[in-house]
Amino acid sequence: MARWGMVIDLDKCTACQACVVACQAENNIPNANPESAAKGRNIHWLEMIPFIEEEYPHTRMRLLPRPCMHCENPPCIEVCPVGATQISSEGIVGQINARCIGCRYCTTACPYTVKSFNWFKPAWPKGMERYLNPDVTVRYNGVVEKCTFCHHRLQKARDKARF
């Protein structure tokens, strides 16, 4: 099966997290409020994972950008009781918000812990709603969300190529 892929050059990555912020803005991911952040309930579709290289005392901290891996045989799909997470013919693992019943089986099954549950109704600081991306649906409380491989951008490019 032909499938989309994304390469991140780890030798060039400085862990500045500009990509994390861009992903939040592109995909209408709400900022965590202090209460949800304290409980580890903030949502990121792309996150920096810290790991340590070498032996003490010459250890070196590295940070690894981690989006959804869009696995070939995704365990998150296997466990979903309602088919709310599916793989496309191009290898993109998507979420169907309207079908999700919020059971969170998939958040447990994902080995990369990339899925997030919406514990709260999403909210943005006053005025920020104007910056929401009209091409991406705002999710609601009670459903799980994750990286969609910016599927909406692929669709836009396809539409442009056709006309």
The answer to the question of residue 100 lying near ligand SF4 (CB under 6 A) is yes
- Choose among 109, 72, 108: nearest CA to 88: 72
Q: How many helices (H) and strands (E) does the chain have?
A: 5, 6
- Choose among 47, 46, 45, 107: nearest CA to 76: 107
Binding to ligand SF4, residues 106-135 (CB under 6 A): 106, 110, 112, 114-115
Shortest reach from residue 104's CB to ligand SF4, in Å? 5
Q: Which two tokens stand for residue 123?
A: 């909210």
Shortest reach from residue 79's CB to ligand SF4, in Å? 6
* C-alpha span between 157 and 85 (Å, rounded): 23
Enumerate residues 6+ apart whose C-beta is below 8 A from 110: 75, 76
Strand partners, 145: 116
Residue choice 29, 144, 148, 150 for contact with ligand SF4 (CB under 6 A): 144
Under rule CB under 6 A, how many of the chain's residues touch ligand SF4? 26
Shortest reach from residue 72's CB to ligand SF4, in Å? 9
Shortest reach from residue 129's CB to ligand SF4, in Å? 26
Per CB under 6 A, residues contacting ligand SF4 are: 68-71, 74-76, 79-80, 82, 84-85, 93, 100-106, 110, 112, 114-115, 144, 146
